[in-house]
Amino acid sequence: MNYLTETFTLNNGVKIPMIGYGTWQITEGPDAVEIFKTAIKKGYRHIDTAAIYDNERSVGKAVEECDVDREDLFITSKVKSNIKTYDETIEAFNESLNKLGTDYLDLYLIHGPTPIHDREGNYDQANLEVWRALETLYKAGKIRSIGVSNFRVSDLENILTKAEIIPQVNQIRFFVGEKQEDIVKFCNEHKILVEAYSPLGQGKLLDNPVLKDLAKKYQVSEAQIAIKYCLQKDTLPLPKTKTPSRMVDNATLNFTISEEDMNVLDAIDDNLR
């Protein structure tokens, strides 16, 4: 199976490639353009960026210069978590669209329920305004699917109190040892696809002795075990690497982790928060 072209189907019928290429911490500039072009050449069709990553121009340049048609790519971006009004959200979306050099996005997310500087604040009403803006853009055909990121169950419940459109995606930290079972359960019940960012635990899983043992058993890498775990949990992993060979390895997953070994992985709690 080619996970770069095989798809999940979102609750609105839109198809999304099962593995995305994460771009967090890849700094804007010519090097980033080449990295993103390489990922596309290696077969990635799902590119995940965000306004706060400050690399949307480089993603757009890579898309412009690659030999893949825009409609064959799935591009995600996100509105910054500190933007909490309807008008600012529309403005931020248009700015992202301009930087990316495209006239639509495949997926647009609210990057977080609270601003980074005020994690404990209550932004329920503000998030409803941001969601209303996403719905407006969706209805106008500017976005093919809409969703959220880092939303807890209570944040999702708040959106659902007024939403005309149920979120298609919730992008969260999800990896071996960080299962966030309450959020995943809620999303599954409401047909909201969970996207798994940091599927390698920001690299820390690569040194985990259990993953090392399983990598030897299946004759694959620790990274491949970690990414396949996410897929077998019906989540969409977003691995990030600048290395071309690892781009290929991260999507070469033609093996199945046994139920017994999945249970072993489920039992891991590495406290990697």
Residues noted as catalytic: 53
Closest CA to 192 of 251, 142, 246, 234: 234
78 CB-contact burial (10 Å; exposed 0-12 / middle 13-18 / buried 19+): buried
| Cα–Cα distance for residue pair 172/175, rounded to 1 Å | 10
